[in-house]
Amino acid sequence: MAGTDAPSFSALVNNLRPAASAPLRAYTTATIGSTGYQLQTNAAICNRLVLSPDGTLSATWTFSTQTASWSDRGTGYNYFNGSTWGPAPTARIENTRTGFTNIGVTSTGAEVVVSHEASNLHLSKRATKGTGTWSDASFLGSPDVWSRLAVGGANGTTLHVISQTTGTANPPFMGQDGALAYSRSLDGGVSWDKLHTIIPEIDVNSYLGFGGDAYSIDAKGDTIAIVIGGFDIDVVLIKSTDNGDTWTKTIVNYFPIPLFDEPTMLSDVNNDGLADTLETNDASVHVLLDNQGKAHVFYGRMRMLNDDLTDAGVSYFPGTDGLMYWNESMGASTASVSTPVMIAAAEDIDMDGILNVADWGTYQVSLTSMPTAGVDASGRIYLAYSSIYEGNAENGTPGDGKSFRHTYVMRSDDGGITWCTPHDISDPGGVIDLTEGVYPAMARDVDGFVHVLVQTDDAVGHGVSAGSTEVQNGLAQMLYKKVPVSDLICVVGVNENASALSSFSLYPNPSSENSTIEFSVVKKGNVMIRVFNVTGQMVAEVANQVYAAGNYKTSLDVNKLDAGIYFVNLTSADGTTSQKLIVK
């Protein structure tokens, strides 16, 4: 990626959310390890934390005791036996240098770790979680890096692995410069019946290639979901319901120039010979399968520009903000219709309508990004993410140094139709404000607690990239956070005590032409007005902006809606108020 624009926040004001209703402090934090290699991913979060049915936890991260050269880099591992975590590791689990690690636990209780060596994938496994010697083996004979692992299959012993095959320094693989390969083992990694295959739905006929770490995978039984993104491609979902034998493809977010080729093509969508700035994604994508096997997709909003064909990369806009969400009920995106919605953004803590932050660490993602999600037995969806923090900066007040990122948790009780107030789990309000909370990894299964692994230290950025000016102050800490579900306040339905909205009326109802939405705001804040059909698909967004205190009216054109029942949701900092609308 070549140039970047200077930070600009004027375009972000209408997308800012107000501060969370209260800091979330009623949770357990444990330091389970550390690392001097602070780049946990180039884009999307790895599967690094697994909750087993017996309440034990298996955690991994890219580990090193060094702050430069990182010759001892590998997988850091720790295990929670149901009552305590083990001692922090002092060495990697592998017998060779690896990185960018993933962990899975099979139905037999075996642990499997997939990482990458210099040019191959590396498999470490043992028969009993939490104890025993790790076996080590390289697999995949062609250059493969930046893997993702999910455990599935009807019997819970199938390993699904995706990885980038080659980059620009290597010959193309199957016609793609950076292909995404799929491998499968039906027996927990003993043998592989699919090795290094290209799924036809994402082959060279649809995409020239993909970036490293720009993909996520989840599995539930025989259902597998893979989502892929990137600055210059679609957000695309490929899904299998037969344990990886066949696949279907859905465009989540449409990139307007198919088969975009950076060295030869400007980002010119209207063919006027001038490069256009395009809305896209930041490659930090995440996919979760709910209890019914429906895919939920999250990614950071981004903008890109390619106006120089000689610089070996596109320009991206690091001041872009917004965490986007989509599920299969919302339908595919096309060239003319974009179906994802924004559900989170940087918090305007002082409520002045401006995001008052200094510069920030280099992660090449949106100001609000790094999503990771889970689901509980009742079907509630949980989300953790990292966002720029409008509070203390690295060297004092904003303007003196770079601003930190904090980690937030939120949930949806209705399958993603509405989302509750986000809660800061980086201990705001105290000296811990002066820490960077990044790369959250949530255990996909939620059991009354949300389990999250977060990397934190007192210096912004990761300081790993060549030429980086970000200096790390020693080792970063790997923090495990156990957040009680009961402390994640979520109000769905009429909220009589809401501080942002005091009233909400909808008339005429039933309606056949236009309905008026009338509401009163008693505290300045962001208000989203969205319309959903009975299947949970959003069919209209009327407003998504900051309102000052006052009375407001807006019109909803029901001529564009088919006859039937709809739900009009008003969402503020304190929750969501919903009213039924009947269209005649």
* Same domain? 120 vs 191: yes
* Same domain? 462 vs 422: yes
Range of the domain at 543: 501-583
* pLDDT of amino acid 449: 95
71-120 residue pLDDT tens:
999 999 999 999 999 999 999 999 999 999 999 999 999 999 999 988 78
Measured distance between the N- and C-terminal CA atoms of the chain, rounded to whole angstroms: 51
Cite the beta strand spans of 254-376 per DSSP E.
278-289, 295-305, 315-316, 323-327, 341-344, 347-348, 368-376
* Same domain? 336 vs 470: yes
* Same domain? 436 vs 479: yes
Which spans in 354-508 are helix H? none
Asked whether residue 2 is assigned to any structural domain, the reply reads no
CATH number, domain of 577, equals: 2.60.40.1930
Residue 206 CA: distances (Å) to CA of 199, 245, 260? 11, 20, 10
C-alpha 510/C-alpha 581 separation (Å) is 6
Among 108, 90, 24, residue whose Cα is nearest residue 449: 24
Asked whether residue 374 is assigned to any structural domain, the reply reads yes
Q: What value, to the nearest 5°, has the Cα angle with vertex 446 and ends 443 and 448? A: 135
**Percentage of residues in the chain with pLDDT exceeding 70?**
87
Burial (CB < 10 A; 0-12, 13-18, 19+), residue 217, is: buried
Asked whether residue 177 is assigned to any structural domain, the reply reads yes
Contact criterion met (CB below 8 Å) for 174 and 204? yes
* Same domain? 423 vs 535: no
* Same domain? 169 vs 211: yes
Asked whether residue 36 is assigned to any structural domain, the reply reads yes
* Same domain? 315 vs 178: yes
* Same domain? 377 vs 517: no
Of 457, 487, 517, which residue sits at a domain end? 487
Cite the beta strand spans of 27-118 per DSSP E.
28-35, 49-51, 57-63, 74-80, 99-105, 111-116
Q: What is the mean pLDDT of residues 532-557?
A: 80
Total number of domains constituting the chain: 2
Q: For 25-29, 116-120, 353-357, which range has the lowest pLDDT when averaged over its residues?
A: 25-29
Q: For 115-119, 195-199, 397-401, 510-514, which range has the lowest pLDDT when averaged over its residues?
A: 397-401
* Same domain? 564 vs 420: no
Asked whether residue 493 is assigned to any structural domain, the reply reads no
* Same domain? 411 vs 541: no
CATH number, domain of 25, equals: 2.120.10.10
* Same domain? 227 vs 170: yes
Burial (CB < 10 A; 0-12, 13-18, 19+), residue 249, is: middle
Asked whether residue 563 is assigned to any structural domain, the reply reads yes
C-alpha 325/C-alpha 300 separation (Å) is 9
pTM: 0.83
* Same domain? 296 vs 379: yes
Contact criterion met (CB below 8 Å) for 307 and 3? no
For the CA atoms of 5, 422, 542, 370, the dihedral, rounded to the nearest 10 degrees, stands at: 40
CA 144 to chain centre: 23
Of 487, 520, 553, which residue sits at a domain end? 487
Asked whether residue 232 is assigned to any structural domain, the reply reads yes
Asked whether residue 492 is assigned to any structural domain, the reply reads no
* pLDDT of amino acid 468: 61
Q: Give the count of beta carbons closer than 10 Å to the beta carbon of residue 332.
A: 16
Q: For 151-155, 344-348, 513-517, 532-536, which range has the lowest pLDDT when averaged over its residues?
A: 532-536
Of 453, 487, 521, which residue sits at a domain end? 487
Contact criterion met (CB below 8 Å) for 256 and 265? no
Q: Are strands 347-348 and 17-18 parallel, antiparallel or unpaired?
A: parallel
